[in-house]
Amino acid sequence: MLPGVGVFGTGSTARVLVPLLQTEGFEVHALWGRSEEEACCLAKELGIPFHTSRSDDVLLHQDVDLVCIYIPPSMTRQIAVKALGIGKNVVCEKAATAVDSFKMVTAARYYPQLLSMMGNTLRFLPAFVAMQQLLVEGYVGDIQVCDVRVYGPSLLDQSYGWTCEELMGGGGLHIVGSAIIDLLSYLTGTRAHRVHGLLRTFVQQNNLIRGIRRVTSDDFCFFQMLMGGTGSSGVCCTVTLNFNMPGSFVHEVMIVGSAGRLVARGTELYGQRNGSKCEELLLADGGGVGPEAKETPRPHLQGLSSMVKALRQSFQAHEEQRLWSQGPVASAPTFEDGLYVQTVVEAVKQSSSSGEWVCVEIMSQEPDPNHNLCEALQRNKN
């Protein structure tokens, strides 16, 4: 028995996700959109029986036991925490801030029997699953360097919205870089302890966004991470994200070690050991994965398809609709991973402002919302 699904979002990911869920046997009972018109239009297109612009109508729907949240980051925490609080399993995208992520972690810890996973689909992409297994088996030896390049067209929406605003979670670092940060942690089995970054917004206005409106989210980002052990025993990572590139989408992740290298180009995996004259194709593209989407790069599309298959396997292991098995989704990022990723993102932003290396310190307790006011009162008292 598979749980009934409620989907939050009407963007490109939701348009691909719903048919994938339906193909795997999930029934999508409810759809939420920011407006009734948006929700109604997509619900009719995808054959979803119920639509609404009221979040509680989806969360309290009697046939919904699994909630998939693909909405602007600034809204994610509120829906995810409430969903867990009323007994729903949750798959969701990133939050907007580390504080929001911490609140999601707290809710997930309070309801450990419920599924709570971040929707980073790259962990499920077959090329990266194979890469991670080969790294464990020692294909490259001791991991030394990770180098990532992601180049593509603009991430901005057709009209002014959250993708234009850095504070609302827009920009290449937050939208794409967060998935890369999580992926590198998954592949190497380590976490970043120091970062250094540079963010730029080259396109601040365009034909659709102009006048008093200005884009504040980054369209170029370069950052470095020192991961794992300190000194020479750690892993050095460099990530370049450029979303001013017309033409074909470039997605390349290379890991170099003492015995060789592995590189994932798009959805294919290549490898070359030291002493070999040429690289070998280790995993070819898996072919069709269902509905194609121009706005969804192929690595994310295939990863999303594999994630939905893993969800089906996880829930199919139990007769009770709400119960799930850890095995099929063991590699999925948790809300704790989401907090780590958001902490790294904010450290990179801080480094870009200061020009210095920044230590990654993961939040262990929620900060006092009146912290700044309390400090000001204390200074006045003294």
pLDDT digits (tens, 9 = 90+) for 65-74: 999 999 999 9
Q: Give pLDDT, residue 246.
A: 83
Rounded to a whole number of angstroms, the CA Rg of the chain reads 21
- Rounded to 5 degrees, φ, ψ at 332 are -70, 145
Alpha carbons 81 and 104: distance in angstroms, whole number: 6
From 2, 166, 8, 158, select the one nearest 91 (Cα to Cα): 8
Q: Give pLDDT, residue 320.
A: 75
- pLDDT tens-digit map of 106-164: 999 999 999 999 999 999 999 999 999 999 999 999 999 999 999 999 888 777 888 88
Q: Which two tokens stand for residue 153?
A: 């067209």
Interhelix angle 36-46/12-23, rounded to 10 degrees, is 30
Query: Which segments within 170-274 are labelled E, that is strand?
Result: 192-200, 220-227, 235-242, 250-257, 260-265, 268-273
Beta bridge partners of 227: 192, 235
DSSP 318: -
- The dihedral built from the CA positions of residue 141, 145, 146 and 149, taken in this order, carries a sign that is negative
Q: Give pLDDT, residue 210.
A: 72
Alpha carbons 68 and 77: distance in angstroms, whole number: 13
> DSSP for 17-41?
HHHHHHHTT--EEEEE-SSHHHHHH
From 170, 341, 176, select the one nearest 250 (Cα to Cα): 176
From 339, 331, 336, 343, select the one nearest 122 (Cα to Cα): 331
Cβ proximity of 349 and 196 under 8 Å: no
- Rounded to 5 degrees, φ, ψ at 178 are -60, -40
Q: Work out whether strand 192-200 and strand 220-227 pair parallel, antiparallel, or are unpaired.
A: antiparallel
In the sheet that holds 358-359, the strands lie side by side as: 280-283, 268-273, 260-265, 250-257, 143-151, 235-242, 220-227, 192-200, 358-359
Q: Does domain 123-283 have CATH number 3.30.360.10?
A: yes
Domain coordinates in residue numbering, the chain: 5-121+296-336, 123-283
Q: Give pLDDT, residue 290.
A: 55
Residue spans of the chain under pLDDT 70: 230-232, 287-295, 321, 369-382
Q: Give pLDDT, residue 366.
A: 81
Q: Give pLDDT, residue 260.
A: 96
- pLDDT tens-digit map of 14-51: 999 999 999 999 999 999 999 999 999 999 999 999 99
Average pLDDT for the chain: 91
From 61, 52, 265, select the one nearest 151 (Cα to Cα): 265
The CATH homologous superfamily to which domain 5-121+296-336 belongs is: NAD(P)-binding Rossmann-like Domain (3.40.50.720)
